Structures are given as C-alpha cells and as structure tokens.
Amino acid sequence: MSQSKTAPKKLFIKTYGCQMNVYDSERMVEALGGQGYVETQSPDDADMILLNTCHIREKAAEKVYSELGRYKHLKAERPDLKIGVAGCVAQAEGEEIIRRQPMVDLVVGPQSYHRLPEMEAKAGAGVKALDTDFPEEDKFEKLTSRPKAKRGPTAFLTVQEGCDKFCAFCVVPYTRGAEVSRPAGRVLSEARDLVERGVREITLLGQNVNAYHGHDKGLAGIIRDLAKIDGLERIRFTTSHPNDMDDALIAAHAEVEKLMPYLHLPVQAGSDKILKRMNRQHTAESYLKVVERLRAARPDLHLSGDFIVGFPEETEEDFQATLDLVEAVQYGSAFSFKYSERPGTPAAERPQVSEDEKDDRLQRLQALLGRQQRALQDAMVGREVGVLFEKPGRKPGQMGGKSDYLHAVHVAGEGLSVGDLRRVRIVESGANSLKGELL
C-alpha cells in the first residue's frame, strides 16, 4: 500500500536590518527544513510566520509591531498559524512582545536559533516559547548543516558576532552580546561547502568583523586561507571598526588578489568632541590615517561609511567637521542616519538635538555623499573591471552583476550565465548602475 506523503509546511520569513540577519534567516530556514518546512514568499498561505527583526533605530522596532498587526486577521482565521519574532527586537523586548501582541507564539533571540525546532514543537502544543539566552554553545554549529542544493554565486558567511566596543548610541552590545568568533576550521569548511554549491564570492560578516580572532592570524589569516580555495574568486568583509584595521589586514588589501577593493569603514562623525562622546575611541585624524594607509596598500580602494547626524549635543560646527571629513575621504558609497534615541544606551540620557536640525543636517550630508558617490561611479567609465554576473538584467538579453567595487553593472551578453566572472569595459554611468561591454 502506498503511503501518502504529508505536504510540506510553509514558512514565511521576513528579514529586517543588516546582512547578518539575512544570513541568520537563511540558516533558520534550513533549521526549520528539518521540521518539514519549506520557504514561501507570501504570509497568506504560511503555516508559520517569522519576523527576523532589527533594533538598531527606533523606527525599526515600531515597524515590527505594525507588521504583526497586519497578521492578526490571518491568525484569527487560522489559529494554528504560528507566529514568531526573532532577532534583536526579540532579544531586547523579550516577553514584552507577547504582552503587546498575545497572538505571538514564540520569541527567539539571535543567539538561540539552534533551539528553534524545539520551540516550534512547543508552540505547536499551544505553549508560548521564549528564549533570549546567550548560551555557551555555537548556534551555527548546532544548526543543521546547509543542504547541498545549488545556490547563487554570492553568499554571506558570519564569522563573528557581538561587539565589545559600546559606542554610546548603539544597542548591539546589548542585543547581540559580547564578541564571539567562530573557529577558523568551521568557517573554512562552510566556505568550501558553499563553493561546491556554486558560490564564487563570499562576504564575511561580523558586527565587528575585523576584531575576528578565530584564526591565530586574525581576519587577515582567514582571508588568506580562504583565498587558497579553488573556485572561490572574490572575498569581502563587513563591518569593520577603524581601530581594528591592523597592519596584517591592511597588507592583505595589497597582497590578496581575491580580496575586493571595496571597504565599509564606518566613522559616524567628524568632530573629535562628538567622537569622544560617542565612545568611538578614535579621532577624525586617526581614522584619516587608517584610510591613508589602506589607500597606500590599495590605491583604487572604494570606501563606504556609516554616519550619524544630530548625535546629542552636536553643534553646527561639529556637523561641519563631519562634512570636512567626508570631503577629505571621498566615499564611493555611504549610509547616513539621524541619531535615534535608544533606551538603555548612554547617549539617550544626553541633551537631544531637535528633529528639524537633524533633518536639515541629514539632507546636507546626503547631498554631499550623493555627489561623491556619483562622481566615483562616473569615473568608472572607460575602465576595465571584473563583473560577477548574478541575474538576468531588466531588458531581454541583458545580464546584471556587481563590479569589483560593488557597483551594479549591466551588460548585453549573448551566452553569459549566472555565476560567470568576466572582464568588462564600462561604457556608461546611469542613475543607479553602470553599463558595460564584455572584453
């Protein structure tokens, strides 16, 4: 007698915030695969909805509550639908989430994802499940390994989590905990596995990735070992703190061909007074010195940064120092934010800058950064770059990919396939992307 197969359960997962959450979401999908779940793109037919949340700015947390509100009718129609909150809002708010939204079945902090399968079973039995511990064990080790299915040419790989820096505005040290590095052996075997499955570019992730200490030669050591893997063509890493940009890592930018010439190196502000109050533990000058050394190692390096405007007590003169620093660096891309008060962080206790001033400064900063970004993008015209093709372009016959410098590039390419890495001459600079021709 033939046995009827049970239909897979459907998991809808929505990811907010940083790339580390993107990586975590992938791993959670894999872990719940063991419970019979497959991913779906719509909450309407899901058996489980999981929000992988971000707590970095105030609006991010509020978004989670309003998103949960949108699922109320689904839960009313199908009471066995499981709803879970993961990520940094889960860590920070814990039980409060269930108090505010009693339909939530499980709340899981970023260090406890390996316990998701048990929690899912508990929720299935009608018991609310909450886990926001910082357990000793490595969650990635305990999560089931990635299945061997083929995948796209680029992948994230988390090597380090947590942060010990305690910038005065930031919740990360509280939500993600102290710095923990994954051992080099595990990182390398995961990388080899990814390459076997078709990955050609790996971005190493960590909240403070260049403080990585799972290899005896630090992040530079793991980069050099990764570069020896045949079939892996490109290596990137993010996000770095300027104080952890050591000599070995700077030298890697000169010597490791597979390490791409693009670096995200947040500075946050240009005024030493504000940097001190932010507890950044560096000055504008020491940041510029690091940039100078990096550019001496890799003259074509494109830099990207994060900026906060309107940090408590920031004056117009302080803000001007941020603009001066931006002028001095010339960024290839950047992310800028209005300071957002985070309860429990030291900066939240300080005198605040008005919303109007924050708006005005953000506009001025973004205008300057936008001009720089555009100028650097336009300067690519006529140059030859490597492009890794990731997906068909918008127009028929086109393929889209990323340059070594992380610019979006599209090419009219007969016979090009996803995963090809080719030399391309840039012929045009558009609003958000470059146009190239195959060489």
Residues 30-59 that bind ligand 5AD (CB under 6 A): 56-57
Alpha helices (H) in 336-403, listed in sequence order: 355-378
What are residue 392's DSSP bridge partners?
399
Among 23, 37, 169, 319, binds ligand 5AD (CB under 6 A): 169
> By rule CB under 6 A, what string of x and - marks binding of each residue 224-263 to ligand 5AD?
----------------------------------------
Q: What whole-number distance in Å separates Cα of residue 301 and Cα of residue 264?
A: 10
15 makes contact, choosing from ligand 5AD, ligand SF4, none, with CB < 5 to 8 Å by partner type, with none
What are residue 33's DSSP bridge partners?
none
Q: Is 420 in the site for ligand 5AD (CB under 6 A)?
A: no
What are residue 259's DSSP bridge partners?
235
* 406 annotated among ligand-binding-site residues: no
Q: Is 319 in the site for ligand 5AD (CB under 6 A)?
A: no
CB 399 within 8 A of CB 392: yes
Q: Is 348 in the site for ligand SF4 (CB under 6 A)?
A: no
208 makes contact, choosing from ligand SF4, ligand 5AD, none, with CB < 5 to 8 Å by partner type, with ligand SF4
The answer for residues whose C-beta is within 8 angstroms of residue 150's C-beta and 6 or more apart is: 197, 198
- Among 284, 278, 273, which residue's Cα sits nearest to residue 242? 284
308 makes contact, choosing from ligand SF4, ligand 5AD, none, with CB < 5 to 8 Å by partner type, with ligand 5AD
Q: What whole-number distance in Å separates Cα of residue 128 and Cα of residue 246?
A: 46
Consecutive H or E run containing 14: strand 9-15
Q: Is 159 in the site for ligand SF4 (CB under 6 A)?
A: no
The answer for residues whose C-beta is within 8 angstroms of residue 412's C-beta and 6 or more apart is: 395, 397, 398, 437
Q: Is 305 in the site for ligand SF4 (CB under 6 A)?
A: no
The tally of CA atoms less than 13 A away on the side-chain side of residue 127 is 9
Least spacing, CB of residue 57 vs ligand 5AD, in Å: 5
Stretch that binds ligand SF4, among 61-69, 164-172, 217-225, 336-344 (CB under 6 A): 164-172
Greatest Cα pair distance, the chain, in angstroms, is 81
Binding residues for ligand SF4 (CB under 6 A) = 163, 165-167, 170, 172-173, 207-208, 241
The binding site for [4Fe-4S] cluster comprises: 18, 54, 88, 163, 167, 170
Binding residues for ligand 5AD (CB under 6 A) = 56-57, 169-170, 266, 268, 306, 308, 337, 339-340, 342
